[in-house]
Structure 1
Amino acid sequence: MKDLKVLLVGINAKFIHSNIAIRYLEKYTKDLNYQCIIKEFSINDREERILEDLLKEKPDMIGFSCYIWNIDMVKHLAKLVWLISPQTEVFFGGPEVSFDGLRFLRDNNGDIIIEGEGEETYKELIEYKIANINNKNRDNILDGLKKIKGLYYKVGNEVLYSGKRSLMDINKVKFPYTEDDEAMDNKILYYEASRGCPFGCKYCLSATDLNVRFRDIETVKKELDFFSSKGVKLVKFVDRTFNCNVKFAMEIWRFLIELNTNTMFHFEISADLLTPGEVELLSRAPEGRFQFEVGVQTTNVEILENINRKVNTENISEKVKQVKNLKNIKQHLDLIAGLPGEDYNSCRNSFNDIYQMEPEEIQLGFLKIIDGTPMKAEVEKWGMKYSPVPPYEILKTNTMDYWELIKLKRVEHVVDKYYNSKKFENILKYFVGSFTTPFDFYSSLGEFFEEKGYLSRNISNADYYKIFIEFNEEKLGKDSKVLKEIIKFDYLLYNKKRWLPGFLDRLLTNEELKIVKNIVLKEYLNLDKNKLHIEKYSINLEKFIQETLIVKKNCYYLYESEGINETKEITECVQNNL
């Protein structure tokens, strides 16, 4: 009897990502007598290579995990498989095909869609296929699928639906990783301790599953310990609102705080739900153990009501600042542009509101109109026009026109490059204070990028610094002598010290450098003179960093290595010995 051979295929957004969905399916059917092979690629891989890699296995079935970022590639690969190997069955699963399966299967090459949660449906499908492996009448086999809930399938030219399957017990899900998984330390691994979300935000697919189900807490601890033992760098919890259950969240956080590990754990949380007890517990976390993603989306109360988002924005601000003051947890705050009823000025206000919270990262995203979300049913109400192709991004609404969204795209670009990288903090501080609001600065800088053509071509690392001088002189009409000193300080923190780009000046002569270096080596006996770097500045940088004040004064800074590092002011030491 021939063994059934199935390929489960994940095409990830980036090489460092991993696909948890196909691993769940493979582990859930480990006890079945068939060959199951996991194949992972990225959207940057060539389709020809992926196709060759799949077909050389001579599989009976190929299953694709479908998301916004890969659906076009999946549809094309499915067509190519059908053209070259029509006897190979193709099935699909994932959020991108679960909410309009009849249309998708009718319009694309492929045989089956697994709707929603896939573990139990997939297992029953494979059991059925194993039992019918030698049956050559393909349409008869497909017609027998009507007893397996949660399937769309083709019989001839007709697409049939077997009916909705009930949500499964999450504790039946098998841990998706094993000892023999390759290169765990080089990948972002995904994990879920719960399914569902208590909130019904209209733009989110989680609005279709308000029944939150938690995995057994002791099982979760055991599985998290596995990541630590394997030296995984980053584990991302895919739980939609991790802290919706205080007791559950605190027990997991307490376990991870006490764990002896270098693994970082990423959580999506609702900051306004944080309790004083949780904040106190988080204060004990080792630096770098946790990072939080907080979906603010907008700080406009009326717009929050439009999307059925029940949060207190003042409470979010308070809790984000409390966590920031702990100085041990990195926070990433999200905004969404193009929400129903929101205009450009409201987006500006929301940006300024979260900017003053000083998170480590700000993401300005754009509304996506996704099948299966309540938002899809309201597009006419809000005058929404959106792209018909993935990622289905908003193009205009009755309160936000296309060109305003384009301006926000430019803000997104410069915020991500400059603010989120953390390599330009003092330069940004210099400029933000010269504008009415932080948004006005980033908007102006984004427009400057467009005018100069920087958005449409690659520019060098040094040019990203040089742009500030151009912006200062051409857009603001200011002299850049002081600015160049601030740029030089930030540049040397994150780049090689032995070379400065031509638009920056070294103030130390070779003769003065020898004198200063000898002074420093006598004062700091443990320094490696071969890695020692000293820089002279014409302004009091400490005064600027701490108070944003420009005071002209010669000062000296010591850098002890060629890498990214902290620097030390040595002005007093040098001047006392000159």
Structure 2
Amino acid sequence: MEFSINDCLDNIVEAIMEEKPQVVAFSTYIWNSEYVRKVAKTIKLIDNSVEIIYGGPEVTYDGENFLRNNVGEYIIEGEGEETFRELVEYKLGKGKISDIKGIYYKVSGDNQETTIVYNGKRPVMDMNKIVFPYNEEDDLQNKIVYYEASRGCPFRCKYCLSSVLTNVRFLNVERVKKDLTYLIEKNVKLIKFVDRTFNCDGKFAMELWEFLMNYPCDTTFHFEISADIFKKEELELLSKAPKGKFQFEVGVQTTNDEVLKNINRYVKFDHIKENIQYVQKHDNIKQHLDLIAGLPGEDLESFKKSFNDVYSIEPEEIQLGFLKLIKGTSMRKEANQWGMVASPYAPYEILKTKDISYDELLSLKKVENMVDKYYNSGKFNLTIKYLRKCFDNPFEFYESLANYFENHGYFKRSISNNDYYKFFLDFNKDILKSNTDIIREILRYEYLCVNKKRGIPEFLRGDMSKDEERAIKDILREKGQKLENSSHVEKFNIDIAKLKSKNNVSKKNIYIIFNEKKEPTYLDLQE
């Protein structure tokens, strides 16, 4: 049964109990562990005979303690496929529980005291034994599917749970092709590979990339990759990928080489940057670059530099994440060494270190919000590029914008789509004091590129009269052009095309045709 943490707890419990279960098993992660505990406890209050099984990374590295302090009978440690099967078989009367490796379970003694028994670790499994979970009856059209082609990671980044796994295992490449063919034919919208480093085996990655590049489909494929290990032949292959078919998530984390060493990443940012820019220049693969605040040895000034370094590449998206001291990782064990204090509650996010304070991390969260809403949305590229010139570096721009939001209380209220345009206009007027008319024209253009004209707010409306609009349409008809029903003409008093190509403004009346399904068309009636 599938639910989300946004579902009402009572509704989840009701749906589960309607099935009259004897056993309920939960996959437990940092993002749902608190919710799982509440659901499990409520189930036990309703019917104490229902047995509870927990599995997943959140209970794997603290099994005995978790089971001792929560309702439930069993914990499955590590990989769950084989262990879960054997546990179900045991519940059906086959075999002995003492023979099942990889589980914790409660045993009640004669004096009614409960003992936690652990049967020892299970060897890692052959991934090819995993049964593909879908069948022909499943409706997957326009869905997002998470796919695992490998487990483990060859790198030992201290903050990552994959660093504790002993080796990397892959599904048979032909098996992967078969699975992907099924998903593609089911018209899945997006397939996200959850492999920690998809390109750690270049031969494996290239064979699948080439297979997908030559498979005609509308499905998009998302990969987590390490940019520093790209080989020349991999980059050459990727340069030929159809535009929009692949997305890359690149974990840069920091551009401070010393901090990279502190987390067991022995790479140079210059090498990462070189490969990212090689992919970028072919303009066919969307790249999402990650940074992590709160890493050992990185203070606020170092993080600002990391941000500016990554921003200079101008990827499609930049994510500012915050270090989490995940159970089982060596970073959690080294916390005292770096003066790290993290929340005691999942997801165990860093609160402060000896290098960066709580207040500084709080300010970075506000900057992260601005980067996400303005930069990552892709709706304000021209406006940002124009206003950025008022600041010495990118971080200062987003920091100033975040401070403006904070001072006006915008972080504590609900904000509509149109508000983000209005606040940008106000920010320029109140703080930058740049030419408001120019910013308004740029924002109006960007609004109409992604929104319908009938929703345009009053503060962005143009001044073209109905007579002028009719005259433009007459000219178009004389040229043998006809506006589609979904199209409309807007007048601007700056040269938008020149602004886009050269990032400078020149005063000029220009007309642009906007269409919901096409790129804007520029009309220069002075030619």
> TM-score range with shorter-chain normalisation?
over 0.9
Counterpart in the other structure of 2:423: 467
Contact 2:286–2:316 (CA<8 Å) still a contact in 1?
yes
Counterpart in the other structure of 2:126: 169
* Mapped partners of 1:467, 1:377: distance in 2: 44
**Offset, 1:146:** 2.5
Counterpart in the other structure of 1:147: 99
- The one-letter code sitting in structure 2 at the alignment partner of 1:575 is Q
Is 1:126 equivalent to 2:88 in the alignment?
yes
Gaps of 5+ in 2: 109-113
Which of 23, 37, 41 aligns to 1:61? It is 23
- The one-letter code sitting in structure 2 at the alignment partner of 1:150 is G
* Mapped partners of 2:222, 2:483: distance in 1: 37
- The one-letter code sitting in structure 2 at the alignment partner of 1:518 is D
Counterpart in the other structure of 1:247: 203
**Offset, 1:145:** 2.3
Contact 2:192–2:221 (CA<8 Å) still a contact in 1?
yes
- SS state at 2:3 partner: strand
* Mapped partners of 1:476, 1:423: distance in 2: 20
* Mapped partners of 1:548, 1:340: distance in 2: 39
Give per-residue Cα distances to partners, 1:125-170, cap 9 Å, x unaligned. 11111116xxxxxxxx9xx522211001111211111101111111
Query: What TM-score results when the alignment is normalised by the length of structure 1?
Result: 0.88
Is 1:206 equivalent to 2:168 in the alignment?
no
- The one-letter code sitting in structure 2 at the alignment partner of 1:547 is K
**Offset, 1:507:** 3.0
Root-mean-square deviation over aligned CA pairs? 1.4
Distance verdict in 2 for CA 1:477–1:255, change over 3 Å: same
- SS state at 2:511 partner: strand
Contact 1:494–1:565 (CA<8 Å) still a contact in 2?
no
**Offset, 1:564:** 6.0
- The residue correspondences of 1:170-189 to structure 2 (distance < 5 A) are 170-181=127-138, 183-189=139-145
**Offset, 1:187:** 2.5
- SS state at 2:337 partner: coil
Counterpart in the other structure of 1:455: 411
- The one-letter code sitting in structure 2 at the alignment partner of 1:406 is L
- The residue correspondences of 1:50-129 to structure 2 (distance < 5 A) are 50-129=12-91
Contact 1:334–1:364 (CA<8 Å) still a contact in 2?
yes
**Offset, 1:283:** 2.0
- The one-letter code sitting in structure 1 at the alignment partner of 2:509 is N
Is 1:541 equivalent to 2:503 in the alignment?
no
* Mapped partners of 2:479, 2:359: distance in 1: 59
Comparing 77-86 and 364-373, the one that deviates more: 77-86
- The one-letter code sitting in structure 1 at the alignment partner of 2:383 is I
- The residue correspondences of 1:52-451 to structure 2 (distance < 5 A) are 52-131=14-93, 144-156=96-108, 157-181=114-138, 183-451=139-407
Distance verdict in 2 for CA 1:476–1:271, change over 3 Å: same
* Mapped partners of 1:339, 1:524: distance in 2: 62
- The one-letter code sitting in structure 2 at the alignment partner of 1:449 is F
Which of 500, 503, 523 aligns to 1:570? It is 523
**Offset, 1:477:** 3.0
* Mapped partners of 1:497, 1:77: distance in 2: 46
Contact 1:482–1:539 (CA<8 Å) still a contact in 2?
yes
* Mapped partners of 2:480, 2:64: distance in 1: 73
**Offset, 1:259:** 0.9
- SS state at 2:26 partner: strand
Distance verdict in 2 for CA 1:526–1:476, change over 3 Å: closer
Contact 2:476–2:482 (CA<8 Å) still a contact in 1?
no
Distance verdict in 2 for CA 1:316–1:180, change over 3 Å: same
- The one-letter code sitting in structure 2 at the alignment partner of 1:460 is S
Contact 1:51–1:81 (CA<8 Å) still a contact in 2?
yes
- SS state at 1:42 partner: coil
Is 1:513 equivalent to 2:469 in the alignment?
yes
Contact 1:494–1:564 (CA<8 Å) still a contact in 2?
no
* Mapped partners of 2:245, 2:304: distance in 1: 33
Q: Could you tell me the percent identity over the aligned residues? A: 52
Give per-residue Cα distances to partners, 1:432-458, cap 9 Å, x unaligned. 121111111011101111111111111
Give per-residue Cα distances to partners, 1:234-279, cap 9 Å, x unaligned. 1111111000111110000011111121111111000111122112
Give per-residue Cα distances to partners, 1:493-537, cap 9 Å, x unaligned. 111124531212413222222112211232252542x33311111
**Offset, 1:335:** 0.5
Give per-residue Cα distances to partners, 1:149-202, cap 9 Å, x unaligned. 100111121111110111111111111222222x31243111111111000000
- SS state at 1:557 partner: strand
Contact 2:288–2:316 (CA<8 Å) still a contact in 1?
yes
- SS state at 1:411 partner: helix
* Mapped partners of 1:177, 1:190: distance in 2: 12
- The one-letter code sitting in structure 2 at the alignment partner of 1:177 is Y
Distance verdict in 2 for CA 1:180–1:531, change over 3 Å: closer
Aligned pair count?
A: 522
* Mapped partners of 1:483, 1:378: distance in 2: 49
Contact 2:142–2:190 (CA<8 Å) still a contact in 1?
no
- The one-letter code sitting in structure 2 at the alignment partner of 1:170 is M
* Mapped partners of 2:284, 2:379: distance in 1: 19
Query: What TM-score results when the alignment is normalised by the length of structure 2?
Result: 0.97
- The one-letter code sitting in structure 2 at the alignment partner of 1:67 is Y
Distance verdict in 2 for CA 1:112–1:327, change over 3 Å: same
Distance verdict in 2 for CA 1:445–1:565, change over 3 Å: farther
* Mapped partners of 1:126, 1:565: distance in 2: 55
* Mapped partners of 2:354, 2:379: distance in 1: 38
* Mapped partners of 2:42, 2:455: distance in 1: 52
Is 1:478 equivalent to 2:442 in the alignment?
no
Contact 1:199–1:310 (CA<8 Å) still a contact in 2?
no
Contact 1:200–1:210 (CA<8 Å) still a contact in 2?
no
Give per-residue Cα distances to partners, 1:347-385, cap 9 Å, x unaligned. 111111111111111110000011001111011111111
Comparing 380-389 and 305-314, the one that deviates more: 305-314
Counterpart in the other structure of 1:49: 11
Contact 1:493–1:565 (CA<8 Å) still a contact in 2?
no
* Mapped partners of 2:207, 2:151: distance in 1: 18
Contact 1:493–1:564 (CA<8 Å) still a contact in 2?
no
- SS state at 1:381 partner: helix
Which of 506, 513, 522 aligns to 1:558? It is 513
* Mapped partners of 1:71, 1:541: distance in 2: 50
- SS state at 2:71 partner: coil
